[in-house]
Structure 1
Amino acid sequence: MQSVDRVTAVLMCFTDGEPELGVTDVAQRLALPKSAVHRVLEALTSSGMTTRSGERGKYRLGPRITELSLAALGTVDVRSVALPVMEELRDATGETVTLTFAIGNQRVYVAQVESRQDVRMTVEVGRRAPLYAGASGRAILMTFNEAELDHYLSLVELTPLTDRTLHDRAGLIDVLAADRTRGYTDSTGERDPYAAAIAAPIIGRNPRAFAGLSVCGPRARLDESARVTIGPMAVAAANRISDLLRGN
């Protein structure tokens, strides 16, 4: 196997179903020596294509892969359109505003405008998270039609990230139905136990959202009253970005 083919084969081993793999996992899958796989993974890690996970000896796709994926999806223009609106929303709410893209059955943070407050929430741009956990992902899921949602739920396991994560199918479907009625979704401690968020979908020419716009902050500040106030603001900002992207 040529070196370029070998690198490509190693990268293609990582999937939504198996986002983290060890040297032995990859070596067995590709029928390659573990020493060769280790060299490839270390080279990929040094360039940011892969990264070591929290579990000893495991690797996952790194931020450079995410950047390349986003470039292929044409998100640079989306971010340039969204950032001024995100800054206005940050100034209006006083909280961090994030932009999340759907990639497969997951979502990835592609941009953020940080709050100016001393105590604030921040995200790691390029980091992936499930669609079902937290407001940003559910803002995308709430635009799925019944068939799309059924297909998504057939592919993923609703693993709780905290003790507040929605992880039962019926409960998630009920929440998404309520979210559609008001036009936005919110969450408290579902992905990060200390964070709360409000999010609305960004929709292009397809009725299924490809992105979510979120206002996030500490749970102590984003109580129910604050979330009810910010919800329509997030919807208005997301709709504005959607209109700009559609050329309206």
Structure 2
Amino acid sequence: MENKNKTVVKSMELLHLFLTEPSLTLNDMVSLSGMPKTSVHRMACSLEEMGFLTRGADGRYQLGLIFLQFGQLVSERLDIRKIAKPIMEELCTEVDEAVQLIMRDGDEAIYVEKIEGTQTVRLYTAIGRRSPLYAGACARSILSFLPRDEIEAYIQQTELAAIGSGTITDPAALLQSIETSLKTGYTLSYSELENYTAAIGAPIFNHEGKVAAGISIAGFEARFSEDCLPYLTDKVKTAAQHISEKLGY
């Protein structure tokens, strides 16, 4: 603690108490923090004056509304592409396949970042390309982890048109694929957007626990044999988890 301001540290310790308690009295804060009552009172008054705490008519303290402003700003300023890119580059180096990042835009997914592997023949996907949420591992990794009512509404109102030879066009089969993804934590596709290609996708979650994006590794089908799947799925799920953690999940 040599380089830290002790008053600031103690004040943060008080604020951290409210992560698990919606409201606290002065005595509660003293008891939980182990600090002298005079110190707690002084810090609580300062925090209240600055808007970090509010005190109700019953004398109980709560976190101030200013935290909503800070939280919104943090959320708005998180650039998923910037956060994800170094993790995507590392994943690409490990698996030597194209690594793609997508985000939802209504009933579609849009590719917002892509890292190419060293393979001489490359996929035709590119930044800015769109695909329906039901087709391809990356897009379906988002669809699979939406709230159930949203999934059902999407399937009811969407025509599942064929894009590649392996595109899922049957609603029951799509639901089964979604159920499998929920159990395994990843989504697998073969020839859904482009024939003779394969992809493994995993969802990325934000600080609210909601699916915010999807990441996938994709390449030609021959390189996604059953023997390779355990290694590849582990890598893409780990990358998705690392990005999610950096988004506050």
TM-score (normalizing by structure 2): 0.66
2:163 to 161, 164, 176: 161
Q: Is the contact made by 1:186 and 1:227 (CA closer than 8 Å) also made in structure 2?
A: no
Q: Is the contact made by 1:143 and 1:207 (CA closer than 8 Å) also made in structure 2?
A: no
Q: How does 1:95-174 map to 2 (within 5 A)?
A: 95-174=97-176
1:229 to 214, 231, 234: 231
Name the count of aligned residue pairs: 175
The one-letter code sitting in structure 2 at the alignment partner of 1:126 is G
Q: Hey, what does 2:210 align to over in structure 1?
A: 208
2:182 to 154, 177, 180: 180
Residue 155 of structure 1 deviates from its aligned partner by 2.4
Residue 120 of structure 1 deviates from its aligned partner by 3.1
In 1, the alpha carbon distance for the partners of 2:76 and 2:84 equals 13
In 2, the alpha carbon distance for the partners of 1:93 and 1:234 equals 9
Q: Is the contact made by 1:96 and 1:215 (CA closer than 8 Å) also made in structure 2?
A: yes
In 2, the alpha carbon distance for the partners of 1:122 and 1:242 equals 27
SS for the counterpart of 1:192 is coil
In 2, the alpha carbon distance for the partners of 1:75 and 1:101 equals 16
SS for the counterpart of 1:102 is strand
Q: Which runs of 5+ in 2 are unaligned?
A: 1-74
Q: Is the contact made by 1:96 and 1:122 (CA closer than 8 Å) also made in structure 2?
A: no
1:195 to 168, 176, 197: 197
In 1, the alpha carbon distance for the partners of 2:132 and 2:77 equals 20
Q: How does 1:8-23 map to 2 (within 5 A)?
A: none
Task: Pick closer, same or farther for the CA change 1:221–1:144 going to 2, 3 Å.
Answer: same
In 1, the alpha carbon distance for the partners of 2:246 and 2:210 equals 17
The one-letter code sitting in structure 1 at the alignment partner of 2:162 is P
Residue 225 of structure 1 deviates from its aligned partner by 2.3
Q: How does 1:3-152 map to 2 (within 5 A)?
A: 77-152=79-154
Residue 212 of structure 1 deviates from its aligned partner by 0.5
The one-letter code sitting in structure 2 at the alignment partner of 1:212 is G
Q: Is the contact made by 1:198 and 1:214 (CA closer than 8 Å) also made in structure 2?
A: yes
TM-score (normalizing by structure 1): 0.67
Deviates more, 1:181-190 or 1:144-153: 144-153
Q: Is the contact made by 1:133 and 1:190 (CA closer than 8 Å) also made in structure 2?
A: yes
Q: Is the contact made by 1:95 and 1:120 (CA closer than 8 Å) also made in structure 2?
A: no
Q: Higher Cα Rg: structure 1 or 2?
A: 2
Q: Which runs of 5+ in 1 are unaligned?
A: 1-72
Q: Is the contact made by 1:199 and 1:234 (CA closer than 8 Å) also made in structure 2?
A: yes
Q: Is the contact made by 2:78 and 2:247 (CA closer than 8 Å) also made in structure 1?
A: no
SS for the counterpart of 2:113 is strand
In 2, the alpha carbon distance for the partners of 1:136 and 1:102 equals 11
SS for the counterpart of 1:213 is strand
Residue 137 of structure 1 deviates from its aligned partner by 1.0
